[in-house]
Amino acid sequence: MSIARKILENTFIQVLGKLITAGLSIVVLKIISGYLGTAGYGDYTTVYQFLAFFGIAADFGIYTITVKEMSKDEKKIPMILGNVMGLRTFLAIITMGAAALAAFLIPSYAGTVIPMGVLIATLATFFTLLNGTVSSVLQVHLKMQFATIGLVIGKIASVAYMALVAYVLYTGDMTTGFYHLMWAGVLGNLVMFVITSYFVTRFSKITYKFDFGFWKRIFITSLPYGVALVLNTIYFRLDVILMTLLLPHTEVLASGNIYCPSTMCSDTEVGLYGVAMRFLEMLVIIPIYFMNSVLPVMTRFIEEQSNRIKSLMQYSFDFLIATGVPILVGSFILAVPIIKFISDPEFVSGNLYTFGSDVAVRILMFAMLFSFVNSLFGFTLVVLNKQIKLMFINAGCVLFNLIGNMMFIPLYGFRGAAVTSVLSELFILILTGWVVKKSLGFSLSPKTLFKILLSSIVMGLVVASGWWIMQGAWFVWQLALLVPLGGVTYGIMILWTKAITPEMWRLLKKS
């Protein structure tokens, strides 16, 4: 089996699992948004966005470095896994404890459900970190179908618990229900970790090891990339945290009515933005899965100084662009039915709010496309041991993002945050692309890009025409008909323009 085919199959398995869990995530989103409402969903989003800052500090790029180290010598996998388990557990305990403490100390969170929600959700993040550690073994062996099984079953357990909370146990007690929604996330991640660990034992023993010399080496190796990831997370999540700090929270009056003391309140803005961000997060995992599959092969090519690195880079770029551009076009046109499908009609513009989550989706899709390509350049810099340059690029982006959000959030709320996110991704794209080109000494060909743009434009015209004709139809019918129509149109166009290279076509024709 060719290397390209192995990479595609490993990526496909992960994306298939993500599609299943994305479907389950849509169910979760509908349950939570319908149960908690805009403001309640804003608090729910704040909890996990707040935790993301500390969770990435516990990860610190160790997963990517671990896969890279295991790919060099598979005989050392048990030793590497045991020590990384110890190191990551230590970091998780420190960072999750800091997260819980910080949530209770922030004045703007006082009197809300956020601090206790953060305390509960730290356990969910802890199991996610451990799951990522053991699944690195499956990634090296290109056996991520086993991790996908754990991911799906864990999500099913979480969804079942959430449905029980929202529709049976706490229909009239939103506060207690909110906390149990947090516990549902803990249950799902625990189930995922247990199942993944079971499959990992087929390839390696899972034990804790405490070789502090190895801990130090891994930590120092991952330090520049870890700092870069922390900075990346800051600029990706900073907007939500700043909205909670720069805008007032809604108040509950003595009558029980909810009152917003300003034209924009943090929990409602975060709620509207959070739905769009959740949709974005379902998409940006695609390039991460793809590049995780490419990483072991890319590492070997770089170590061997093989000329095949150029074709691998071009192949990866074409795949990411061919996936990202049509998603941008289709989501931009179908933003309204998408939001209705994944959440609740009250999140759409013109219902309860002038600007709804559909506006955020249209803006954020450009950030999605840039992030697809950024994943290629970012992973390449890691393999080239250029983590320090990546760290400085992300540091510059954090400053850029902070200034942009501080300027635009008070004026435009989530719309300002969304535009700042797009500009931040573009900022990183330009700088990482320049560094990769300088390091490898070659440029990627835009030939396939132009064919993909043409194919996507034609697809967009067809979908937009169908959207105009189906105005007033049920949103489920709109998506059920227009998404396949767009997919077929795009498929025909990329075949007609020969955007699929002969190598890709040979892979598709193989059994």
* pLDDT for 251 beyond 70: no
The whole-model pTM stands at: 0.73
Cβ proximity of 273 and 416 under 8 Å:
no
- pLDDT computed for residue 61 by the predictor: 67
- 202 touches 78 (CB < 8 A): no
Among the ranges given (142-146, 391-395, 464-468), the one the predictor scored with the smallest mean pLDDT: 142-146
CB atoms < 10 A from the CB of 120, how many?
19
Task: Tell me what pLDDT residue 508 has.
Answer: 41
352 pLDDT more than 80: no
Q: How confident is the model at residue 293 (pLDDT cuts 50, 70, 90)?
A: confident
Contact 228, 391 (CB under 8 A): yes
Count helices and strands in the chain by DSSP H and E runs: 16, 2
Q: What is the pLDDT of residues 166-221, one digit of tens each?
A: 888 888 788 889 999 999 999 999 999 999 888 888 877 777 878 787 778 777 77
Average pLDDT, the chain: 81
Q: How far is 43 from 395, CA to CA, in rounded Å?
A: 28
Domain boundaries, the chain: 3-445, 446-511
**430 and 476 in contact (C-beta within 8 Å)?**
no
Cβ atoms within 10 A of the Cβ of 202, count? Answer: 11
- How distant, in Å, are the alpha carbons of 275, 353, 413 from that of 409? 17, 17, 4
Greater pLDDT, 344 or 494: 494
Greater pLDDT, 330 or 40: 330
More confident residue, 382 or 64: 382
- pLDDT at position 67, please? 67
* Res. 483: pLDDT tops 50: yes
Q: Is 308 exposed, middle or buried (0-12, 13-18, 19+ CB in 10 A)?
A: middle
Dmax of the chain from CA atoms? 71
Give me the torsion for CA of 389, 391, 392, 398, rounded to 10°: 150
Residue of higher predicted confidence among 132 and 186: 186
